[in-house]
Amino acid sequence: MVVVPAQKLRITSWNILHGEQIPPVLNLSSAQWEQNLITATAQINEKLKPDFLGLQEVDYMQPRSGNINQTKVIADTLGFKYWSFLPAITGTPGASWKKIEDLAGGLINQDTDLTSNQLAATNPSYGIGFVTNQPVKKIYVKQLGRSVIGMPLAIPKSDGNSAQKPKGIKLIYIKDEPRVAITAELENGLTITNTHLSFVPGVNVFQLNKLAKYAHNLPGRKLLIGDLNLPANLPQKLAAITGGWHSLVKQNTYPSWKPGIQFDYLLCQSADLGNFDSQPLPVITNVKISDHLPIGAQISVN
C-alpha cells in the first residue's frame, strides 16, 4: 500500500433521488432532467470541489428521468475521468423490477463496451455509483439483501411550478429493493465503500454491520460513506461491534428543504483515525434536486 504523505482529498456523498427536482415538477423533458442534474452538480463542484463523490439513488437510462446515464453526466460535468454505476435492480423502484443477480457483471463504467454488454444496452436500471478524479486500482461489489416488507415513506408532493419548497408531503407504501455496496480501491491507498442501506429499521442495522465487517477486511485505509438511513450518529455507535467506525462529519442532510436529520455519513475505521486529519466541507442548502443534501469532508492522509 502506498499513500502519498499528507495528501489532501475532498470526499463527498450525495443521494440524488434520481435527479428529482424539489419540489417535483411533472412532465419535464429529457433535456430538462439532464440540465437540472448538470446545474446541481456544477453547484456542488463550485462549493465543495470534490475529488470523490459517492452517489445513491441513481438512474441509468430510466424513462422517468430522461433516459440518461446519470453517473456519466455527473462525471462529465465535474471533468472526472473515472466513474462507475452499480445497478441493484433492472426496472423501476416502486413499479416493476428484478434483482441483479450478477453484480460484477452488471457494473457499468468508463471502460464498459455498451454495444456488447446486454444489461447495459437494453435495461433501464437503478442503483449506486461513484465518480472521481483519482485513478482506481480495483472495484469490489457486495450484495446486502433487502427487507421482505416495505414501509410507508414521506414523499414531497408534486407541483406544477418552481416554488422553493414542497407544498407538503404524501405517504406512499414502498417495497424495499435489494441493497448493494460498491468499493473503490484507489491507487493512492484509500479504499472507499459507498452504499445506500434499507429504510426499514433493524434491516439497515443488519446491513450496516454486514458491510462494516466486510469493509474491515479490505486493503488500504478505509472509508465507508453513503445514505445509511440511520439518524443520530447511530452508524458510529452500532458499527462498533465490527472493529469500530468513526463519523467524520456531523450534518443534518434530510429533508433538503428543512434538514433536521442526519441520514448520510462519512465514516473512517477507528484504527485509522490517527491517520486522518478531517475538516467538514461547507453545507449547501439550496441544491435544486434531491431530498438529501450532499455531505463532505476534506481529509489529509498521513
Residue extents of the structural domains in the chain: 7-301
> pTM for the whole thing?
0.92
CA distance 146 to 143: 9
Task: Assign 53 a pLDDT band (cuts: 50, 70, 90).
Answer: very high
> Beta partners for 93?
none
Instruction: Summarize pLDDT for 138-177 with one digit per residue, the tens.
Output: 999 999 999 877 665 666 766 555 455 665 666 665 789 9
Instruction: Summarize pLDDT for 216-253 with one digit per residue, the tens.
Output: 999 999 999 999 999 999 999 887 665 689 999 999 99
What is the pLDDT, as a whole number, of residue 42?
98
Q: What cell does 65 get?
A: 428521468
* % of residues, the chain, pLDDT over 70: 86
CA distance 87 to 129: 8
> β-pairing, 245-247 with 136-145?
unpaired
Task: Assign 1 a pLDDT band (cuts: 50, 70, 90).
Answer: very low
CA distance 245 to 257: 29
> β-pairing, 82-91 with 7-15?
unpaired
Which CATH fold would you assign to the domain 7-301? Deoxyribonuclease I; Chain A (3.60.10)
Q: What is the DSSP letter of 177?
A: P
Output the average pLDDT for the chain. Answer: 90
From first CA to last CA, the distance across the chain in angstroms is 13
Between 110-119, 181-190, 284-293, the lowest mean confidence (pLDDT) is in 110-119
Q: How many CB atoms lie within 10 A of CB 169?
A: 13
What is the pLDDT, as a whole number, of residue 19?
98
Contact 65, 146 (CB under 8 A): no
Q: DSSP letters of 221-273?
A: EEEEEEE----TTHHHHHGGGGT-EEE------BSTTS--B--EEEEEEGGGG
> Which runs of E-coded beta strand occur in 110-178?
125-132, 136-145, 151-156, 169-174
pLDDT at 302 exceeding the cut of 90: no
Q: What is the H or E stretch that residue 41 is in?
A: helix 30-48
Q: How is the beta sheet containing 136-145 ordered, strand by strand?
A: 136-145, 179-186, 190-196, 221-227, 264-269, 245-247
